[in-house]
Amino acid sequence: MVYLLPTVSTLICLIILYGLPRIWTYQRRQKAARDRGCLPAPCALQRDPVFGLDFAFQLLRALRNNHRNLSLKALFGVHGHTFQVKTWRRNKIFTVEPKNLQSILATDFASWGIQPLRLFPFEPFVGKGIMCSDGTFWEHSRALIKPTFARTQIADLHLSEFEPLVQRLVESIPGDGSTVDLQPLFARLALDSSTEFLFGESVGSLSSDAVSTEVQQFLDAYNYGQMIIGRRFQLPHWNILTWDRRFWKSCRVAQAFVDRYITRARLDLSGTTTRKADAERYTLVYELLRRTKDVKDVRNQLLNIFLPAHEALGVALTNVFFQLARNPTVYTRLRKEIHDAGGDQAPWTFERLKSLRYLQNVISETFRLNPTIGTTIRIALHDTILPIGGGSPESKAPIYINKGDIVTVSLYALHRRKDLFGEDANTFRPERWETLRPPQWSYMPFSGGPRVCLGQNLALTEVAYSLVRILQAFKTIENRDPVIDFVEVYKLTTDSKNGAKVAFTAG
């Protein structure tokens, strides 16, 4: 019995050291919640309220069966616009309330972060940069990149390099009524455009059927790395669970590919090569090297930008033509608007493209129904409050959020709320935007607040310009996909599993 005394004493000490602080924290939080009128969000039905494994498996099944966004939307239909799932470590809140988005993304921005969620999955591949950091490092990254995107002429400057890429795209599309899947062609356009924009030289994937060995190695490394990043998101943050020699090799290949462009750009800027950096031409690698001499930082920022830039254009164009093929009257009206605007009588600039109201409505409606990023996630960096969603689904009480709680915002479900976008919110109808003025923070295709996408004007300009050129080249469009509904496949973006299979008539 005497021998047990040290063990009992140790247990008591552990209880005091670890138990009492947790009890005190719990009581402090309960009091703070009561003082501020907070109520817990409604709970989703769970068989496992301790670890939340049943809910996790439910979402994983939805992911595997290609209806992740639809499953989340259905859950909001059952539990209301905000609900929670309890696990042993933290609460997970799901919301489509605009007031909560405003708080998370803007008015209470400092209380929320992404680094604890994203740094582990992203860092081996793209390094620490704007996509996966918080605090002072995120501020440094944004300050490094923002000035170049803020240039008012950036979209028009980029169009001069974008035009020949789109022409190659149009030449690759048959106009004899034969079936073509536009998705891989749009992916090539996005690749050529993003490499031109970032590195000053397109990889030329639209120019020929085969790219160089070096480029193909980079693409293979990038695609595989992106897939493993998604896996690292889903699993606990232990490298041993995602240890994969091919992944780590992919990281080295991708980084070495970018390093070669950086080395070339440094030589250009130093004047040691015959090639010069054009002051009137926008190339991100040159702009970054003018602002910092840290080559690793430049590489990380370029890879962080390449990640969304490479995906956004291809996914957006695929989704637009997926809808146009099923709505040929919209296609006809778009062609008329472009013709009535004078066609090529004047250059297609950023402002001129914006003036095509129906074109902009088609783009807005596509981003509403099929946002490129279906969900966005934040983690509470310290205790805070969400302004609405506590209590019953009809309640307007705030919710007390503990440090470490995670909030998932479903942009897909938000954009389909019938009380915000009409009873036909699940229908593609660009005409709604002629009178629709959605409430602030209810339409969020490019996020909002300090983390709003810096390249949104550039992306929208590329989409609009591509649409104009394709519609000018082809008189009619016909759907050739036997599956009418949109079937999602989730990577870091939400893509169309069946692509965009169409037939065009030239004219």
The pLDDT mean for the chain works out to 88
**Per-residue confidence band for 483, with pLDDT thresholds at 50, 70 and 90:** very high
pLDDT tens profile 347-359 = 898 899 999 999 9
Q: What region, left, alpha or beta, does residue 430 occupy, with left being phi > 0 and alpha being psi -120 to 50 degrees?
A: alpha
Distance of alpha carbon 488 from alpha carbon 274, whole angstroms:
48
Q: What is the DSSP letter of 81?
A: S
- Three-class secondary structure assignment of 120-159: HHHHHHHCCCCCCCCHHHHHHHHHHHHHHHCCCCHHHHHH
pLDDT of residue 22: 74
- pLDDT given at position 59: 77
Quote the pLDDT of residue 442. Answer: 97
Q: What is the pLDDT of residues 13-31, one digit of tens each?
A: 766 766 677 787 878 888 8
Residue in this structure with the two tokens 């992306």, named with its chain if needed: 459
**Distance of alpha carbon 394 from the chain centroid:** 31
What's the pLDDT tens digit per position in 241-252? 667 899 999 999
Q: What is the DSSP string of 451-472?
A: GS-TTHHHHHHHHHHHHHHHHH
Across the range 392-401, mean pLDDT stands at 87
Q: What is the pLDDT of residues 366-392, one digit of tens each?
A: 999 999 988 999 999 999 999 999 998
Confidence of residue 236 (pLDDT cuts 50, 70, 90): low
pLDDT score, position 298: 95
pLDDT of residue 46: 77
For residues 369 and 425, give the distance between their C-alpha atoms in angstroms, rounded to a whole number: 8
Residue type (1 letter), 479:
N
Quote the percentage of the chain above a pLDDT of 90.
59
Q: Is the pLDDT of residue 253 over 70?
A: yes
Q: What is the pLDDT of residues 401-445, one digit of tens each?
A: 999 999 999 999 999 999 999 999 999 999 999 999 999 999 999
Residue 484, pLDDT score: 93
> 475: part of which helix (H) or strand (E)?
strand 474-479
Q: Where are the alpha helices (DSSP H) in 345-409?
A: 350-354, 357-369
Which two structure tokens, joined as six digits, stand for 231? Answer: 């896996």
What is the structure's pLDDT at 66?
80
What pTM value is reported for the model? 0.90
For residue range 28-69, list pLDDT tens digits in order.
Answer: 888 889 999 999 999 987 777 767 777 777 777 877 788 889
**What percent of the chain is modeled with pLDDT above 70?**
91
Compute the distance between CA of residue 202 and CA of residue 196 in angstroms, rounded to an integer.
4
Which residues touch 182 (CB under 8 Å, ≥6 apart)? 173, 317, 318, 321, 499, 500, 501, 502
**141: pLDDT confidence band, cut at 50, 70 and 90?**
very high
Out of 215-224, 291-300, 381-390, 414-423, least confident range: 215-224
Average pLDDT (478-494) is: 88
Tell me, what's the pLDDT at 148? 74
pLDDT at 214: 85
Question: What is the C-alpha separation between 125 and 300, in angstroms, rounded?
Answer: 9
Decide which of 111 and 345 is more confident. 111
More confident residue, 132 or 207: 132
Greater confidence (6 vs 108) lies with: 108
Q: What is the mean pLDDT of residues 264-282?
A: 70
Position 360 pLDDT exceeds 60: yes
pLDDT at 303 over 90: yes
Residue 136, pLDDT score: 95
Residue 501 predicted with pLDDT over 80: yes
- Residue 311, pLDDT above cutoff 70: yes
Report which of 321, 333, 247, 316 is spatially closest to residue 463, judged by C-alpha positions: 316
